[in-house]
Structure 1
Amino acid sequence: MSELKNKKNQRDIQLGLAPMEGVTCLATRLWFSVTSTPDFAMTPFLRVTRDYPWKRVASTYAAEIFDLKDFTSYRLIPQLMGNSPEDLERIALPLLQGTSFVDVNCGCPSPKVVGSHAGSGLLEKQDVFESFLEGLEERLGHGQFSIKMRSGFLSHEEFPQLLKIVSKKNIAQLTLHARTRKDRYTGHAKWDLIDLATLSCPFPVVGSGDIINAESLAQFLRIAPKIDKVIIGRGALRNPWIFNELRSNKAVEITVSTLLLSLSCYAVLQELLAREPLKLFALVKAGLFLEACETDENKWEKLYHKLTETLYGQSVPPSSLQLDRASFARVKMIWNSLRSSLGSAFMNPLILRTSSFSDFEKEILNTAKVSSSQLLLNHNPQYDWIYSGAKSNGNEPT
């Protein structure tokens, strides 16, 4: 029993992978399930308008509640975003045939989203927000949807009134990322507001914001002791093994080979999703992703061979991987965050500047020669600028 669970009076905290636009696609969710196994995951928001999508969503959007139901180690919560309860109803009702509730995004801070009065734009006018929730209740029914929101549009002072509106609704749960829309991803999440929500709401509250390691989670649980569920976004990108750390209350160590094999698996998963989704579905249905690899180098190697055999008809070494530009871009997206947990040597920008996976692997191996063969995944606050959108202030090597 970990120290963290003892402090929570033997209660289990459900750990979820947060929805991240352009990141948490099916391939990424499967990769996290074998990396450190979140209890649940959320899809990136599906933007719903009057004209899109009209008939059905892509089969890969929420495959885990339909085609792949019962074949993954995590539960999936599909997330939608829009400003019209009528449009959201059109897409939500088919999804509700496979899941108990859908999540509605009321938190995205993107200027384009806010400009269309969706995401956190719904929080700007409280009467509009209340009317929106009432419309969803009327069309979807009680307990058929949850919401993910921020603690205000311009100021945290808006939150008590927003909470008063939400707490009166019959929803499945509230996920609170305790930053304002104005904050975007800067500053610190206010977990005292998450605590306030747990005391005010008759339904579960999911905490979100700034969980980067076991120490930070323990700190936030002391502030909001009634929390039973949390989601982790940027903290999982910087340390994909974070769910292991949170359960064991110990920092995770991996070998350089494990690091490269895991990233190679991620690359091939992206290729399979883009080029051969039905083959990927078949692997999931065969139970390939029910057992986690975690830090076991041999398990990662077996998974890699199975994935490459499925994609190419034979196993090929990582140095020979030929990736589409989009797949390689996703690998580098993961790396851009992950490198910050590996120490200053791995912040070498030459790795990000590579144009092929073989060069990418070569640069990591070259960097590893001047580093330890065992890599300790740690939060290094000097690199937090990667996640906030702030400037590096000279912390990145040139």
Structure 2
Amino acid sequence: MEGVTCLATRLWFSQTSQPDFAVTPFLRVTRDYPWKRVASTYAAEIFDLKNCFNYALIPQLMGTAPEDLERIAAPLLRATSFVDINCGCPSPKVVGSHAGSGLLEKTEVFYNFLHGLENLLGAQKFSIKMRSGFSSDDEFPELLKIVADAKLSQLTLHARTRKDRYTGKARWSLIDEAAKKLDFPVVGSGDITDLGSFKYLREQAPEVNKFIVGRGALRNPWIFMELREGHAISISSYALLKSLACFALLQEILACNSHKLINLIERGDFLSTCGTKEEDWENLYSKLSQAVFDDYISIDKLHVERASFARVKMIWNSLRSSLPEKFMEPTLLRTACFSDFSCSFMSLCENKNILLPLEYKEQYDWIYSGAKNNERDK
């Protein structure tokens, strides 16, 4: 996810509920960038540290010229079986440069793009993530023919158009159609928010056996545990707060002392999962605090850089929608540092051991879909 799934965030999700795989944020590739190499933390999971994680990683690239993408994909393919190419991002800036879902606007451009990549990278050496069309689902049959003619490793289909962005509902009937017609795996994407939605959508596309969760994981970072165990998850208020403190420290250490984060990874500190266990989150917090501050800093005194705390509030803005309604009040989003956030959070709790259910609430969808307030009931 753009601007979200950096190494620190991927590690945190491996601790909340351990997805089977993660995808990097797209790396925008142009003729001039990146020229020599990508950052060492961009896809650390597939290189020297590949045995130090409890999830697999798919590197994702974005671009418009196959030869530019080949320059960056080639070294990645020495360490992984395929790279993913983003043909789905609906951002106006991206689409304006004819990348992301902008590639879908003209079928001839899309066809030449895919076959240009295939000629350079080889069969099954890349996958794509795409939308069901640029302006309308009426475009999907022709787009699907083009995809079927390419030798992809897999297709991830978010069954909304670029015009839809994140509004409305994903059309899983189109995902089902793709799974029936293509000779390679189809990954279903869109609207998986909890166990109930997962079961329902899986029934709509019975031949799909691989799924990706994006915004649903931001709203409930323990969703992978819920899907794996087959029941709703609850977490103590203290474990939740500790997990967010760990998130803050992971962002801080990646930004300021990435070599120390690499040391923790090499030591095997992220091979197991904390889940909802207070003790495990406390142990991880202690290790991260030592790495960042060379000392144990209690949560009520925790301060991180503004950028790191901004990432905490980004996660909180989505996560709060799965908690009891009182947590939706904006007080915590207005705090200036983590210690203030911690104090405000605990003031909303009866005690540190209160059990908080993590439940998807449809009434908040409009906030996270980009729909306008006056459109939320339409």
TM bracket (short chain): over 0.9
Corresponding residue of 1:271: 252
What are the equivalent positions in structure 2 for 1:270-349 lying under 5 Å apart?
270-349=251-330
Q: Establish whether residue 257 from structure 1 lines up as the match of residue 238 from structure 2.
A: yes
* Partner in structure 1 of residue 174 of structure 2: 193
1:202 is aligned with what amino acid? D
Could you tell me which residue of structure 2 aligns to residue 247 of structure 1?
228
**Residue-by-residue CA offset, 1:108-143 (whole Å, 9 max, x unaligned):** 000110010000000000010000000000000011
- Where does 1:127-166 land on structure 2 (aligned, <5 Å)? 127-166=108-147
> Is the counterpart of residue 66 in structure 1 residue 47 in structure 2?
yes
Secondary structure at 1:384 match in 2? helix
> 1:319 and 1:54 mapped to 2: Cα distance?
44
In structure 2, distance between residues paired with 1:345 and 1:363: 12
Q: How far apart, in 2, do the equivalents of 1:162 and 1:391 lie?
A: 30
8 Å Cα contact 2:16-2:276 kept in structure 1: yes
Post-superposition CA distance 1:155-213 (Å, at most 9, x none): 01111110011011111000000000000000000000000010011001000000000
Matched, 1:388 2:369: yes
| Alignment partner of 1:170 is 2:151 | yes
* Match in the other structure for 2:67: 86
* 1:102 and 2:83 aligned: yes
**Match 2:344 to one of 334, 349, 363:** 363
Q: Which residue of 1 aligns with 2:335?
A: 354
| Whole-angstrom distance in 2 between the partners of 1:394 and 1:43 | 32
1:386 deviates by: 2.2
What residue in structure 2 maps to residue 230 of structure 1?
211
Distance 1:194 1:389 in 2: 23
Question: Match of 2:143, SS?
Answer: helix
Matched, 1:121 2:102: yes
Check whether the contact 1:342–1:376 (CA below 8 A) recurs between aligned residues. yes
* Whole-angstrom CA distance in 1 between matches of 2:352 and 2:267: 38
- In angstroms, what is the RMSD of aligned CA positions? 1.4
- The answer as to whether partners of 1:185 and 1:388 remain within 8 angstroms in 2 is yes
CA–CA distance in structure 1, aligned partners of residues 255 and 352 of structure 2: 35
Matched, 1:40 2:21: yes
Structure 2 residue identity aligned to 1:132: F
Distance in 2 (alpha carbons) for counterparts of 1:157 and 1:303: 50
Task: Determine if the alignment matches structure 1 residue 203 to structure 2 residue 184.
Answer: yes
Can you list the C-alpha shifts for 1:207-265, whole angstroms capped at 9, x where unaligned? Answer: 00000001101001111001111000000000000000001121100000011000000
The question of whether the paired residues in 2 share the 8 Å contact of 1:177 and 1:189 is answered with yes
Q: Which amino acid aligns with 2:159?
A: A
Is 1:76 aligned to residue 61 of structure 2?
no
Q: How many pairs were matched up?
A: 376
8 Å CA contact retained: 1:86, 1:139: yes
Q: What whole-Å deviation, never above 9, does each CA across 1:71-91 have from its counterpart, x for those lacking one?
A: 100000000000000100000
Query: Does 1:181 find its partner at 2:172?
Result: no
Alpha-carbon deviation of 1:370?
A: 9.0
2:12 to 24, 31, 47: 31
Output the CA distance in 1 between the equivalents of 2:270 and 2:374.
40
Q: Partner amino acid for 2:254?
A: L
Query: Contact 1:343/1:380 (CA < 8 Å) preserved in 2?
Result: no
Q: CA deviation at 1:387?
A: 1.1
Whether 1:377 and 2:377 are equivalent positions in the alignment is no
1:345-395: CA deviation from partner (whole Å, max 9, x where unpaired): 001101100001111111111111399911000011111122112244699
In 1, Cα distance between equivalents of 2:236 and 2:195: 21
* Structure 2, gaps ≥5 residues long: none
Post-superposition offset of 1:343: 1.9
- 8 Å Cα contact 2:238/2:352 also seen in 1: no
Where in structure 1 are there 5+ consecutive unaligned residues?
A: 1-19
Which residue type is aligned with residue 323 of structure 1? V
Runs of 4+ in 1 over 2 A off after TM superposition: 369-372, 390-395
Q: Is the Cα contact below 8 Å between 2:237 and 2:355 reproduced in 1? A: yes
Question: Is the CA contact 1:383–1:392 (under 8 Å) kept in the aligned structure 2?
Answer: no
